[in-house]
Structure 1
Amino acid sequence: MKNSQTLFYLDDDDEDLDFFKEIAEDLGHTVRGFSEGRIMLLVLETERQKPDMIFLDIHMPILNGQEILEIIKKSDTLKKIPIVMVSGAYPKKLVKHFSDLGVDYMMKKHHVHDYRESLREILDTHFRKSRAAS
Structure 2
Amino acid sequence: MRTTQTIYYLDDDIEDVDFFKEVAESLGHIVKGFTDGGRLLMTLELKEEKPDLIFLDVHMPILNGQEILEVIKRSDTLKHIPIVMVSGAYPKKLVRHFSELGVNYLMKKSHVHDYKAAVEEVLNSYFDDEKEVG
Q: Match for residue 48 of structure 2?
A: 48
State the AA in 2 paired with 1:46. Answer: L
- Corresponding residue pairs, total: 130
Distance 1:18 1:110 in 2: 15
Q: Following TM superposition, by how much is the alpha carbon of 1:43 offset from its aligned partner in structure 2, in angstroms? A: 0.5
Q: Is the contact between residue 73 and residue 102 of structure 2 (CA under 8 Å) also seen in structure 1?
A: no
The 5 Å alignment of 1:15-26 reads 15-26=15-26
Q: Is the contact between residue 9 and residue 33 of structure 2 (CA under 8 Å) also seen in structure 1?
A: yes
Q: Match for residue 63 of structure 2?
A: 63
Q: Following TM superposition, by how much is the alpha carbon of 1:108 offset from its aligned partner in structure 2, in angstroms? A: 1.0
Distance 1:3 1:109, change over 3 A: farther
Q: Match for residue 118 of structure 1?
A: 118
Q: Which stretch has the larger CA shift, 92-101 or 17-26?
A: 92-101
Normalising by the residue count of structure 2, what TM-score does the alignment of the two structures yield?
0.88
Q: Is the contact between residue 70 and residue 101 of structure 2 (CA under 8 Å) also seen in structure 1?
A: no
Q: Match for residue 6 of structure 1?
A: 6
Structure 1 consecutive aligned stretches of length 4 or more whose deviation exceeds 6 Å: none
The 5 Å alignment of 1:32-111 reads 32-103=32-103, 104-111=105-112
Identical pairs, percent: 63
Distance 1:97 1:130 in 2: 22
State the AA in 1 paired with 2:125. Answer: T
Distance 1:58 1:83 in 2: 12
**Cα shift readout 1:64-101 (whole Å, capped 9, x = no counterpart):** 00000000000000000000000011212111221233
Structure 1 gaps of 5+ residues are none
Distance 1:3 1:93 in 2: 36
Structure 2 gaps of 5+ residues are none
Q: Which secondary structure does the structure 1 equivalent of 2:86 belong to? A: strand
State the AA in 1 paired with 2:87. Answer: S
Normalising by the residue count of structure 1, what TM-score does the alignment of the two structures yield?
0.88
State the AA in 2 paired with 1:116. Answer: K
